[in-house]
Structure 1
């Protein structure tokens, strides 16, 4: 396990196992190897989900279906990130278009893409406008911004030493660094605008 990465809770591990498409021996062994501290709970859950349920059982209620769907979306593999991360697949032209639509320098969009902005410092109206421009929900955008920072591998530099990724900054500091005028910063930072 990588240092600094949050270890999933017992409930998260069991939920993730429960929504696996198959519950065969291979899947169970993989979970047991990754999470030996939850071995007895995983084996018990494996037995439970492997039971043959008769066809005379009542169908799932709408509430139960929503709970299952929510758990599935929450525990979907990160490998499908491009499907759930609206920023991961942005082209240069799309970044330009979104920056123009939001009336901010493109480096602001790039900073979001590289996860260099502390999301809690971004006013909700700007997050809403960014989510709308990306054609994504605010919740999905905020969730995607919690992914680790994206390395700048594809970018080129004129310096002999590749710059390192700095710590995330506040949205206001990002605007200052990007040279956004004081009046425009005030507009963007306004909570109700």
Structure 2
């Protein structure tokens, strides 16, 4: 119960008292003699352990149940709503339409969907167009960008656990997707 001969902690003493096989008066007196510094806590625990629990509890009255229900509704209203992930609602076909509307290859929208693109590198004009194409708002997109871990976005069988890659800039994603320099300049300036 005690490390290297020192006095046991309050928690250790109370844990030991709680699991005593003979929880009577003699056990209580022994613990009070051995650990007078924890006397108040030991006595409180003894009272709690010896308290009888009624087995025939009457069912709640209708008035009591109504009070509980009202309190629960008030509590539920106070809870913040779960943030909506605008990326989760779109199907594969929706993503094709988004790519076409934005005039970018599908691998660009895949990188956006998987949030592999650094949010701060995306021009506000493009972000606004993306939000509109996704039937969302810029605020919803921005809120969902940092709150999602992306390791499980795609489902593949693999020999090792998937890892989240580092984010890259929007311009780098456009370059990697083979977007022409002219189109890339237009997208970076927010033109569509």
- Shorter-chain TM-score tier: 0.5 to 0.7
Could you tell me which runs of 5 or more consecutive residues in structure 1 were left unpaired when the two chains were aligned.
1-19, 28-67
1:21–1:186 distance in 2 versus 1, CA, 3 Å: farther
Contact 2:126–2:191, Cα closer than 8 Å, also in 1: no
TM-score by length of 2: 0.54
Aligned equivalents of 1:93 and 1:146: distance in 2?
Answer: 25
How well do the aligned residues superpose, as a CA RMSD in angstroms? Answer: 2.9
Contact 1:96–1:106, Cα closer than 8 Å, also in 2: yes
Partner in structure 2 of residue 180 of structure 1: 179
SS at match of 2:133: helix
1:172–1:149 distance in 2 versus 1, CA, 3 Å: farther
Contact 1:118–1:168, Cα closer than 8 Å, also in 2: yes
Could you tell me which runs of 5 or more consecutive residues in structure 2 were left unpaired when the two chains were aligned.
1-71
SS at match of 2:101: helix
Partner in structure 1 of residue 35 of structure 2: none
Number of aligned residue pairs: give it.
121
1:116–1:102 distance in 2 versus 1, CA, 3 Å: same
How many Å apart are 1:148 and its aligned residue? 2.5
Contact 1:114–1:149, Cα closer than 8 Å, also in 2: no
TM-score by length of 1: 0.53
How many Å apart are 1:166 and its aligned residue? 1.1
How many Å apart are 1:109 and its aligned residue? 1.3
Partner in structure 2 of residue 92 of structure 1: 92
